[in-house]
Structure 1
């Protein structure tokens, strides 16, 4: 019997700072209650994930738990996500008490292809209009 590969390898992750910055500056933004998601179209069919959880969310244990929950959502649903996007997920300050069911319900929006079709308003790289 063939088993699906649900690992989270390095090639599926955003790892370089420039990738996070490019995703934030040029990508489509999606707001949820506990997360900001930046989605940037890629040239290939790969889907990559980057997770940012700041100290505002809580201590190291809390931050790592939030990151694990987000990665678990991505790992179990990576086959359902639209192909060819870099996704940078930033946890908002009150995301520290979140559970897996809430993460899944909020990030389910990423499974809908129409979310990626809307154009983002252009803004300058300095953040000033």
Structure 2
């Protein structure tokens, strides 16, 4: 993910926490804040020390970044997103992370296509 697509500064994280809306399931909490002057979205990731050691936390962040990269065409662009991983994510495979994150993003109504087809799912016509 390119640098301009990331939220890095504590001040920016705090602004999203304070002014954004939160949506959650058992694995993730997603804060969403409108940024009308922005042309693209930005994402901040938070994986706490309770979840595991540095290797585990970095693996989770890589998985989340990859999911966001795949969803980027469907994500509403002029927003800031902060994604907080919860404990169950440590034991999840990529497909499970993708499905869970898609669920929270659909709940937040920030995916343009409301049905993002996941691997293994079939469309019923």
TM-score range, shorter chain: 0.7 to 0.9
Normalised TM-score (structure 1): 0.78
Alignment partner, residue 85 of structure 1: 79
Structure 1: runs of 5+ lacking an equivalent:
1-7, 117-129
Alignment partner, residue 38 of structure 1: 31
Q: By how many angstroms is 1:12 displaced?
A: 0.3
Q: What number of residue pairs does the alignment pair up? A: 109
Normalised TM-score (structure 2): 0.80
Alignment partner, residue 53 of structure 2: 59
The question of 1:101 aligning with 2:101 is answered no
Kept after mapping to 1: 8 A contact 2:20/2:32? yes
Q: 2:70 aligns with which of 67, 73, 76?
A: 76
Q: CA RMSD in A?
A: 1.7
Q: Distance in 1 between matches of 2:65 and 2:81?
A: 12
Q: Distance in 1 between matches of 2:88 and 2:50?
A: 8
Kept after mapping to 2: 8 A contact 1:42/1:84? yes
Alignment partner, residue 9 of structure 1: 2
Alignment partner, residue 18 of structure 1: 11
Secondary structure of residue in 2 paired with 1:52: strand
